[in-house]
Structure 1
Amino acid sequence: MSFLATKRQQAVGLVAAWVAATVEGADRLNPALLRALGRDESWDGWRLPLRGARGGDLHLLLDPEFPYSLPRFALGRRTDLLRAPHVETKGRLCLAGDGGRADTLDPVAVVAYSFGEALALIAEDEAGANREDYAIDFDAYWRRDVTDPLPLRTCLHAERRSRLVSAWHGQAFYFIAENARDARTWLTNRYGVDETRAFKNAALIWLDRLPEPEMYPDNAGRARRLIEASSYRGLPVFDRLMATMADRAAVVFMGATATGDVVQAGLLVEGPDWASTGTKAPKPNVSRGFRPGNAPPSILALRRRSHRVEVQRTDAWLGRMRAGEGAQLAGKRVAVLGCGSLGGGVAKLLLQSGVGRMTLIDPDTFAWVNVGRHELGSDSTERNKATALVERFRPMYPHARELRAEPTSWQVLLRRDPKALHDCDLILSLIGDWNAESALNDLQRSGTDEVRAAILYGWLEEQAGAAHALAIGPTGACLRCGFGPTGTIHVPATTWPRHAPVGCGGPTSIYGAVDLAPAQSLIASLAIDLLLGRASPPIRRAWLAPQPTLAQGGGCWHLRWIEHYGDPLQGGKLTATPWPKDAACSCALLPVTSFS
């Protein structure tokens, strides 16, 4: 027997002894009873009788990971509590929630404490307490009571108003967006082009007060009464849907919980349920008895049934971000110049963060030598980097409203279209080529209208011993202020006695994906701060690799860095350093125009 199996056997034995000594009338659950509760023979359990006039049982269940997991409890013979707060499907009690911690060295104490918590919850539910939890965790209680397995996937703005929206009816799910254009863009990004997709009206109803389970509608008539009682101006939107829908329509309820979180719940409304007769029966007319178009919406609703369904929010990831950041970034436009190992990873981080419009620009093809440190893999070799990245990112991040590839250099792009970068909120130059980036810097300072946005330059020092993110605006210090005329930085962070070999294609860059990750995060983080107005150019941040990384390649901290910014010692740190204007820099001689 393995170590963990032995530990479990010992823990279960201790719990069994505690149950026998503590709970009168308790019974061990046999395999058949465990299966009836949705568990297999790898579980152990007991039936613990509940005292009091209402009786019933409490099932104590230990999973295969016990004692390195929490005990579970489920109600038995208590149908009166199956819709009570903190009671989940099949009577399971929600006590500690996901991720609850246990004293894994004292299984009996954990079970005893959890048993007391379960009894306290049952007593509170019997007394009618905890009802405010329905509004705190509304979406979870709605999911508990769904009556149709078809989910609604939504991508909707959290606006506190009712309105008609657009729906695509698929076989596996319905997709709901603010309008047909947004729905088509998301579906095309995720699943590819399909010209046969059709879109229908759906209703989004803002509820000023979220309902408790006994008010959850089980037909369209009850849904209408709920809207009438709980939604300001939601009834005209619902009635319009009732008057114009065909066989089936979707309704999304949206509201704010007691903690301020915006939640969604779904409803499918359809025609009357006619039993199948095996023959072609006439289609029931929900408007019978009225002239066409004159049936009252209340009658149309009463004659239709509804099903509660789960809502799967395709923007749920925004809930893992700081409030409002995702919505702000969704409206930003970014251009990424250079889609190598650095640029590809930064682009991915920005899309994951919610940036809604992005153009990737790179003339080069992806080679086998970069498979180990690029977002692309071996299936993309010999393809243009920008094009391959866009094709990969579109289904991964369908929320992006515009994701475009330009398989050329930025110079060629601007010769073809001088306003190609005109509307960008931020330009990221991750080319790592002094000639191209000094040209971009001079163009920004030229006073023309081709580059209006701030430019965020990012580069790695040799062997990824340090990484730099430098934001330059139309005024103040420029890129050249910190470099010599041929692109040698004035104050490098590292020095390398043994340099990488240089061939006709330029120097070989020695670093792997792990070395690259902090640099990508550094640049993406500053990009987000710039887009959200939390930082402004000129600003430079640097990542200094752990000292053993330098030592492995024979590198060390550069004396000039130590003189200016102090000794990094063991490294492994992020630092912000000045980027002062150089009075002798040529930018002082160039015409400068400040663009708002």
Structure 2
Amino acid sequence: MPKVRHHHELIDHVVIGVNATFPNSDPIVVALQGIAKGAPYWPHIEPRGTLCLGRLRYSSPAATRVLSSLQDALTVLSMTQTERDAEHRREFLAYWSQLGHATPMPYLCMLDGSPLSRDIVYYGDAQRGRFFAEDAAQLATWLSHMGKPSPKQASTTRLIWLDQPLLPAAFPKTGRDVMALAGDHAFDLHVKPGRILPVLLGCHIDGLAVYVCAEIEGISVKDAAKGFRPSKPRPPALVATSFQSKPAMRRSVQRADYAWVHGRGKNAQVHTLRNKKVAIVGCGALGGFLARALAQSGVGSFLLIDADELVASNVGRHLLGMEAVGLEKSVALAKRLQADFPHAVNVEPWTGAIQTAKTEQIELLASYDLIIAAGINLVGELALDGYRQGMHAPPPLVWTWIEEFAVAGHAVGVVDGACLAASLNADGEFLMRLTAEWPADQAHAMEAGCGVAYQPYSAADMMGTVNCAHRLSLDILLGKQQGSVVRSWLGDRELATAAGCRVDEAFSRSFGEITRDWIW
């Protein structure tokens, strides 16, 4: 590749290769001169000399793919200085990582994205991971939810907000470079002898906040004490000066704040969902997976209600595993959600049957944005319906449950003060069931010894109903579903017909979702 055909001052040839799986893999283009000593930083030339190029269609002839790779390489090497700078800024995080130092544990930050330089707090180290937060209270809550001990006193550091991403040539190489970005005396309060100081750098890329870390180290505790009395230790300004000459270790940082976790900063609904509160009555298989699904969607607060403990036979289709057997479902589920989503606003357990709720507990339910009855018994469902009828402004109710052997499932949205009991027959059965009149020997399976009835369906069989209830709950919380509605999951129709039960005409196919009007 003659230099007259591109702009790279060192590269005059590239090597192209294929591996044993070609043509089912892409050709590889390598420019070792691009990583020689003194070579300029160049977009898409990786630290080992490989060029990061676009992928090609496998259907293209092999020769065409080789030639196209060479042409793409020439295009990269022909980038002007302006184009190279723009690409380096756009891929700032990738180049910081490539030219940085990997750690065994992640560096996570919960910052709110404000484009301001400011003091922040952190906890941890390169072996345990580092956690950055706006203040000590946020950090303590986050660590507590994750089951990690909170520090007695949070360590402080500085976030340096950049007007634009740094080019690779301007990446800080020493503590002096880092301090120059912050200004005089910005680190005096944060540096400590014998400690590594992780400094965050933040900027906007395509309107989204991104962060990286530069770790700097200064004088040891022993050396800092030389020439100074314990009563009058080395002044902070002198300690800070000792951090200037050591190398700056570049570390990658992952955003772990609400907006990023639930949509990578592009989900306009997450701020609405973060302020929503959902009470889930029934923390069994349905309720557990539904709680997690809503937490993943960004719902901020939960009240989890259940009176039972997890038993070993639950584990096959429950969110919780064997480590939670013997624990109260609501308590164990709350801890699990807090650990998995430590940024959540609040997750509270309530142990006890819904039908024995006290006045103050019913008043608490009335303050929630949505109540979900997930696979509980008729006594609990009717009690919950009665509580809602007595409320001045009852929250919407999603009533979700599964028919025999999970051949069908329902998510019923009851809003605007509608009465759930109106949809039940004299035996307490839903009038819009999709199957009925199951033969006695087909309706239930029985546990050996105790004679407890159960439904032996798998986790896969119930997921259609979970998804149906998940979507309906979000539609109600976001105002997309205004009136009462019946959404049903159609499972394996052949299983129902083979059992000899009566199948409703609405159950016209297998494995799909239908919506029907609430008629009461």
The TM-score normalised by the length of structure 1 is 0.73
Q: Note the C-alpha offset of 1:168.
A: 0.7
Q: Deviations over 1:47-99 (max 9, x none)?
A: xxx99973454233434543322222232122365621122222221112xxx
Q: Answer yes or no: is the 8 Å Cα contact 1:207–1:253 preserved in 2.
A: yes
Aligned to 1:89: 47
* Residues 414/250 of structure 1: CA separation in 2 closer, same or farther (3 Å cut): farther
Q: Answer yes or no: is the 8 Å Cα contact 1:468–1:541 preserved in 2.
A: yes
| Superposed counterparts of 1:150-299, under 5 Å | 152-172=107-127, 173-190=129-146, 192-194=147-149, 196=151, 198-226=153-181, 239-246=185-192, 247-257=195-205, 259-271=206-218, 281-282=223-224, 295=237
- 2:16, 2:389 → 1: CA distance? 72
* Residues 147/376 of structure 1: CA separation in 2 closer, same or farther (3 Å cut): closer
Within the candidate set 532, 536, 540, 2:486 is matched to 540
Q: Answer yes or no: is the 8 Å Cα contact 1:162–1:205 preserved in 2.
A: yes
Question: Is 1:490 paired with 2:490?
Answer: no
Partner amino acid for 2:116? R
Partner amino acid for 2:209? V
- 1:547, 1:107 → 2: CA distance? 48
- 2:356, 2:265 → 1: CA distance? 37
Aligned to 2:97: 143
Q: Answer yes or no: is the 8 Å Cα contact 2:409–2:490 preserved in 1.
A: yes
Question: Is 1:134 paired with 2:88?
Answer: yes
* Residues 319/330 of structure 1: CA separation in 2 closer, same or farther (3 Å cut): same
| Superposed counterparts of 1:237-386, under 5 Å | 239-246=185-192, 247-257=195-205, 259-271=206-218, 281-282=223-224, 295=237, 306-315=248-257, 317-319=261-263, 323-386=267-330
Question: Is 1:398 paired with 2:342?
Answer: yes
Q: Note the C-alpha offset of 1:311.
A: 0.6
Q: Note the C-alpha offset of 1:254.
A: 2.4
Q: Note the C-alpha offset of 1:352.
A: 2.2
Q: Note the C-alpha offset of 1:345.
A: 1.1
* Residues 329/385 of structure 1: CA separation in 2 closer, same or farther (3 Å cut): same
Q: Answer yes or no: is the 8 Å Cα contact 1:248–1:268 preserved in 2.
A: yes
3-state DSSP of counterpart to 1:388? helix
Aligned to 1:519: 465
- 1:154, 1:285 → 2: CA distance? 38
3-state DSSP of counterpart to 1:124? coil
Q: Answer yes or no: is the 8 Å Cα contact 2:486–2:515 preserved in 1.
A: yes
Q: Note the C-alpha offset of 1:167.
A: 0.6
Partner amino acid for 2:419? C
Partner amino acid for 2:303? T
- 1:466, 1:417 → 2: CA distance? 33
Within the candidate set 75, 79, 86, 1:124 is matched to 79
Q: Note the C-alpha offset of 1:264.
A: 1.5
3-state DSSP of counterpart to 2:14? strand
Question: Is 1:69 paired with 2:25?
Answer: yes
Partner amino acid for 1:550? A
- 2:474, 2:72 → 1: CA distance? 44
Q: Note the C-alpha offset of 1:338.
A: 0.4
Q: Deviations over 1:219-244 (max 9, x none)?
A: 344335445xxxxxxx6xx8544344
Query: Identity, % of aligned pairs?
Result: 25
- 2:88, 2:454 → 1: CA distance? 60
Partner amino acid for 2:421? R
Aligned to 1:509: 455
- 1:322, 1:529 → 2: CA distance? 19
* Residues 484/551 of structure 1: CA separation in 2 closer, same or farther (3 Å cut): closer
3-state DSSP of counterpart to 1:77? helix
Q: Answer yes or no: is the 8 Å Cα contact 1:61–1:71 preserved in 2.
A: yes
Which segments of 5 or more consecutive residues in structure 2 lack a partner in the other structure?
none
Q: Answer yes or no: is the 8 Å Cα contact 1:497–1:555 preserved in 2.
A: yes
Q: Answer yes or no: is the 8 Å Cα contact 1:386–1:406 preserved in 2.
A: yes
* Residues 490/65 of structure 1: CA separation in 2 closer, same or farther (3 Å cut): same
* Residues 391/490 of structure 1: CA separation in 2 closer, same or farther (3 Å cut): same
Deviates more, 1:296-305 or 1:313-322: 296-305
Q: Note the C-alpha offset of 1:252.
A: 2.1
* Residues 549/60 of structure 1: CA separation in 2 closer, same or farther (3 Å cut): farther
Question: Is 1:500 paired with 2:443?
Answer: yes
Aligned to 1:407: 351
Q: Answer yes or no: is the 8 Å Cα contact 2:307–2:353 preserved in 1.
A: yes
| Superposed counterparts of 1:14-93, under 5 Å | 54-63=10-19, 65-78=21-34, 79=36, 83-93=41-51
Q: Answer yes or no: is the 8 Å Cα contact 2:188–2:236 preserved in 1.
A: no
Partner amino acid for 1:511? Y
Q: Answer yes or no: is the 8 Å Cα contact 2:179–2:186 preserved in 1.
A: no
Q: Answer yes or no: is the 8 Å Cα contact 1:467–1:543 preserved in 2.
A: yes
Q: Deviations over 1:22-64 (max 9, x none)?
A: x99xxxxxxxxxxxxxxxxxxxxxxxxx999734542334345
Question: Is 1:480 paired with 2:421?
Answer: yes
Q: Answer yes or no: is the 8 Å Cα contact 1:58–1:75 preserved in 2.
A: yes
Aligned to 2:410: 468
- 2:438, 2:298 → 1: CA distance? 42
Q: Answer yes or no: is the 8 Å Cα contact 2:107–2:252 preserved in 1.
A: yes
Partner amino acid for 1:576? T
Q: Deviations over 1:114-168 (max 9, x none)?
A: 122112212226x653422223222112212225748532122223333322211
3-state DSSP of counterpart to 2:69? helix
Partner amino acid for 1:180? A
3-state DSSP of counterpart to 1:91? coil
Q: Note the C-alpha offset of 1:500.
A: 0.8
Aligned to 2:58: 103
Q: Note the C-alpha offset of 1:569.
A: 3.0
- 1:113, 1:480 → 2: CA distance? 68
Aligned to 1:8: none
Partner amino acid for 2:343? H
- 1:285, 1:88 → 2: CA distance? 48
Question: Is 1:569 paired with 2:501?
Answer: no
Partner amino acid for 1:74? V
* Residues 68/550 of structure 1: CA separation in 2 closer, same or farther (3 Å cut): farther
Aligned to 1:114: 69
- Alignment RMSD (CA, Å): 3.7
Partner amino acid for 1:175? F
- 1:226, 1:379 → 2: CA distance? 49
Partner amino acid for 2:511? G
Q: Deviations over 1:508-551 (max 9, x none)?
A: 32422111111111112222233333333423322222534434
Partner amino acid for 2:26? L
Q: Note the C-alpha offset of 1:344.
A: 1.1
